[in-house]
Every structure is written in C-alpha cells, then in structure tokens.
Amino acid sequence: MTGIALLTVPTAEPGDAHPFDALTEKGYRTDDLVSVIGKTEGNGCVNDFSRTLATAVWEPRIPESAVTVFSGGTEGVLSPHVNLFLRDERSHPGFDRGLVAAARRSRVLEPVEIGREAQVDTVADTVGKLLAELGVTPADVHLVLVKCPLLTSDTIAALQAAGAVPVATDTYASMGHSRAASSLGIAVALGECDRETALHALAGEADVWSARASASAGAELDDCHILVVAESPTAANPLRAVHGHMADAIDLAAVQRLLSQVAEAGGTVRQIFAKAEADPRGAIRGFRHTMLTDSDINATRHSRAAVGGLLAALKGDGAVYVSGGAEHQGPPGGGSITVIYELPTPGGTEA
C-alpha cells in the first residue's frame, strides 16, 4: 500500500487548467492523481454549470481510476481551488504510518433510484470495496467524500411519463434526497448504523448522521464519485487527519478542539473539509435566522458563507472546502468536519 500527498492549488476560473502545471512542478504526474476535489464559483444549485465546466476540463485528463468532485459555491471569503490527492510511493524517514486514499465510481444510478434505498445500498457497497482495497477498518477512516447525481426537469418528466414516481418533483429538493441517501450509505459502510436503521432515517423515522460523511449533488454525473481517506501503518508519510462535527454554524469551539489536537501533535493544517447547512429549526442557539426564508439567496449559499468565514479565519486563508447541504452529515444544523494536517519530519522541519 502506498500513501498520498495533497496539493491545494488556487484556480482563476472553473476551466482553469494551470493546476496541471503546479502538479508537474511538484514532481508528480497526472497518472498519480487519485482524486480532484474542487470548489467552483457557481451558485451550488441545480443549474451550477461551473461544476460542469470544471468536470469537462479535468475528466479527460485524469486516470480512469481517479474521480472528480466539484462543489459549487464560493460565497463570502471562500476561494475557488482544487485539492489534488496524489498517489505517493515514497517512504518518508521517521514515519511509521500515514494517510492513504482510494477512489472509485459506483454503478450508474437510474433516475428512479436517486434518493432511495438503491442509492444507500450502492454507496455502502462502493465504500466497502474501497475499505477492502485500502486494507483499513472503519475506525481508520477520517473522511468519505461523495459526489452524487440529482434529478433534472427532464428526468422528472420522463419518470412521470413512464408512470414512475420520482423521489421529488422539485429539482433542488432532489439534491437533498440524493445527499441524504449517499450519507446514509456511508454510515452503513462505516458501521455507524445498520441498513434497516439507515432506511428508517431516509424516511425521516430515525436520527442518524456521520461525522465522516461529505456528500454533494450535481447534474454533471449519473453515478457516484467516492473518495475514502484513512490512516494506515502501510504508508509512511507526514499526513494525518482528525475529524469531528460542528453542532451548529457558529460552533467555533468544536473546530478549535480539532485544531488543538493538530497543534499538540506539532502539525500544520493543510486543508479543512466541512459540511454546512441552515438549521432546519429556524434558529441557532435560540436566535432566529432567516436563511430558510430568504427569497433572494438560497439557504445553502448562506450556510457556506457563514461556515466558510469561520473556518477561513482559523486556517488563515479562504481556500477551504465547505459544501452546503448536510443531510445526515453531522447533527441537524451542524456539519461534519475533517482536518488534514502535516507533521514535521524528525529533526524539526516539515516533510
């Protein structure tokens, strides 16, 4: 098993191909890519074609085994960028473990399956295969990132014409259903709940969430792109990760606890992956918020901006990965969070 390296590269626009040059300058090849995880400056909603443009640039040039995940929406201080997870075969002296990662595409989901039991099972099965490929247990996993499909107006109309019932008749609502099914599939694969409980949660009859799940939906794909990041003694590199959850959009203390763990280890933060959502109860710590009733700006855009500002201030720059819509990804109104950091080499310098 080989470990990974992580490069975070700013982008000038969704079609920006210069990160390929940055990759080469660091001594890597395109064939080394495991996954490209990016933030693009669209609206993050159904018609966010910035994701489609970024996908069109990257997909033809990456290995067949690699996956792309582009999350739209860089509101507030969030900065467009890509995170390049790279296969790195080097054994770094002084390290007896490190981060590993693997990616895979699921089978194509039929429109009638989106947001339903079949999607839960498909994601759970694919994550299980990735765990086996990496030779890790669920306890070793810090992050499972999924990009999943949604229902378009055309697919909804086609389902109805065929006498089938879509999970939602609103395209935007279908994004939430798809994210929910993917997140519950992750929870099943990681042993955080059993399949029956996950299906009850999908129906709104059980409270299940994962602090390691990150799911976003888009119209640019019809399968699920899945990345698993874990820690393993089969690798020897300076990358590590910690994960947890924010109880709400202003849960500074939860993030500080994770960053304290990084500081205690002598590490340097390399990237933060977080989910955010408008609290469905309409209030945060007893104070009313208007994210869910704003007719001008979608709630996911509000939540990305709020959480993005908090995390950017702590990291020191706006190139953080914050994805809106956190169904079963952390507690309601909160969100999952994973911090990837780098340890110094023995002797006091960073690897």
Would you name the residues annotated as active-site residues? 147, 216
Query: Among residues 94, 138, 69, 105, which one has the least CA distance to residue 350?
Result: 94
Rounded CA separation 28/26 (Å): 6
Rounded CA separation 235/250 (Å): 36
Question: Do residues 229 and 133 lie in contact, with contact meaning Cβ atoms separated by under 8 Å?
Answer: no
Please give the helix or strand (H or E) that residue 225 lies within, else none: strand 225-232
- Residue 311 identity: L
Token pair for residue 120? 């839960």
Find the angle CA(116)-CA(129)-CA(193) to the nearest 5 degrees: 50
Rounded CA separation 115/104 (Å): 20
Please report where in the chains the tokens 């950091």 appear, as a residue: 341
- In terms of residues, how long is the chain? 351
Question: Do residues 102 and 230 lie in contact, with contact meaning Cβ atoms separated by under 8 Å?
Answer: no
Query: Among residues 238, 279, 272, 241, which one has the least CA distance to residue 255?
Result: 272
Which residues are 82's β-sheet partners? 9, 38
Rounded CA separation 205/207 (Å): 7
Token pair for residue 26? 């660091």
What is the three-class DSSP state of 82?
A: strand
Handedness of CA 241, 245, 250, 254 (dihedral sign): negative
Token pair for residue 245? 């959850």
Rounded CA separation 313/99 (Å): 26
